[in-house]
Amino acid sequence: MTQDMPTPNGEAAVKVENLRKLFPVSKGMFRKATDFIHAIDDVSFEIKPGESLGLVGESGCGKTTTGRILVKLDEASEGSVGVRDQASGDLVDVTHIKSKSQRKEFRRNVQMIFQDPYESMNPRRTIFDTVAEPLMVQKIGSIPERERRVVELLNLVGLTPAESFLFRYPHELSGGQRQRVAIARALVMNPSFVVADEPTSMLDVSIRISIMRLMLELADDLGVTYLYITHDLAVARYMCNRIAVMYLGKIVEMAPTEELLQRPMHPYTRALLSAVPVPDPSYRRPEVQIKGGVTKAVNPPSECRFIERCPFVQDVCSSTDHPPLDDRGNDHQVACHLVADSGEWLGAPRAELDLRS
């Protein structure tokens, strides 16, 4: 069930334009690379203040690379990433941040929650040291003030009594407790924007819902804007105001969550939804009409990225460049030649893909 989330308003908190990330394929020590992996290729989107945008797709599509560029862990090859500064209110292009002082200020506004709570913490540091490290790096507060702030955050994320966790080590905590520590660490600086890279995928199913509910509550209370990266459409439905579907470095469809789930337009989105389990043992799902495996991302041709797997290919798909992401009404954008401006599907009849929700 979709949760009540804060209604986004105002100008964009994050604005990504024509983002591209190429990784060279090495040809040798003294030879210049001529082949490149197109991890992200001409991606653009906006996230409004208080909004949660879900970035979904299969492994290798470029989701995590997008998130890492937004938090300045990787550098973009081309394009711009604007993040609104809390102090000035201006959009700051993070791709132009170079100096140490600029990076330090940027870290006050933007943080990341990593996928693996087992690997994202130093096993030799206590929970207090882990959560307080951003305060220490930013030279904020005295030691007693930092301790009070850490206790406040640990209580906020549900680790109570917080004092009993301060001087424990990561190996003494369960997976859910570690992820709560990771959330506390990300929020200790009161950031305005957080990239959450599949923060519940390493956790037991029994505690995933509590972590997701916690993140929604914190977004509401603290006004945090999320980019939520996941491969699970059910999680995206629970967590996100909008969903962007990514395939082989391109966003192929983007829409408000329920609009996308109830009226998918791109063949890849339709295939993803048709693979979602239905809690009805008597229901017999039609076979998914998707072909082959993921195309290699090395020097991809200019035509539609999905062309080799799409069961509805037409001449226009192979004779023109990859279609742009165009609005088809109701803030529903899709990159497909087989969708008319009216949103009408021009490929095979809808009945051929049962997308029962």
For residue range 169-185, what is the model confidence (pLDDT) as tens digits? 999 998 889 989 999 99
Count how many Cα atoms sit within 13 Å of the Cα of residue 68 in the half-sphere of its side chain: 15
Its sign, for the CA torsion 123, 129, 135, 139, is: negative
pLDDT at 276: 77
Work out the average pLDDT over 83-112. 85
| DSSP 3-state of 315 | helix
**Region 143-159: what's the mean pLDDT?**
92
Mean of pLDDT over the chain = 85
Q: Find the range with the poorest average confidence among 172-181, 228-237, 241-250, 311-320.
A: 311-320
313-337: average pLDDT: 89
Q: Rounded to an integer, what distance in angstroms lies between the CA atom of residue 264 and that of residue 282?
A: 24
Residue 302 has pLDDT above 60, yes or no: yes
Question: Residue 349: its pLDDT value, please?
Answer: 42
Q: Where are the domains of the chain?
A: 14-26+35-240, 267-357
Copy the structure tokens of residue 3: 């949760």
Averaged pLDDT, 165-170: 94
Q: What is the pLDDT of residues 31-78, one digit of tens each?
A: 777 788 899 999 999 999 999 999 999 888 899 999 999 999 999 999
- Structure tokens belonging to residue 222: 């603290």
Are 346 and 339 spatial neighbours (Cβ–Cβ below 8 Å)?
yes
Interatomic CA distance for residues 323 and 344, integer angstroms: 16
**pLDDT, position 185:** 92
> Do 16 and 45 touch, CB atoms closer than 8 A?
yes
Task: Give the model's pLDDT for residue 30.
Answer: 67
Residue 3 has pLDDT above 60, yes or no: no
On whether the CB atoms of residues 273 and 292 are closer than 8 A, the answer is no
The fold adopted by the segment(s) 14-26+35-240 is Rossmann fold (3.40.50)
Does 148 or 290 have the greater pLDDT score? 148
Identify the band that residue 277 occupies on the pLDDT scale cut at 50, 70 and 90.
confident
| Residue 351: predicted pLDDT | 37
> Which is nearest to 20 in space by CA: 58, 97, 74, 71?
74
Cβ atoms of 150 and 132 closer than 8 Å: yes
pLDDT of residue 347: 62
pLDDT at position 100, please? 85
Q: Which helix (H) or strand (E) holds 185?
A: helix 175-187
Q: Would the pLDDT of 356 be above 70?
A: no
Say whether pLDDT at 7 is over 80.
Answer: no
Range with the poorest average pLDDT among 117-126, 169-178, 346-355: 346-355
| Distance (Å, whole) CA 247 – CA 231 | 11
Q: Tell me: the pLDDT tens digits for 189-226?
A: 989 999 999 888 877 777 788 888 888 988 888 889 99
* Lowest model confidence (mean pLDDT) among 161-165, 184-188, 306-310, 345-349: 345-349
Q: Band the pLDDT of 350: cuts 50, 70, 90.
A: very low
Q: d(Cα 134, Cα 59) in Å, to the nearest integer?
A: 31
Question: Could you give the angle at the alpha carbon of 150 between the alpha carbons of 149 and 155, nearest 5°?
Answer: 100
Residue 2, pLDDT score: 42
Asked if residue 284 has pLDDT above 80, the reply is no
CA angle, corner 328, sides to 325 and 329, nearest 5? 130
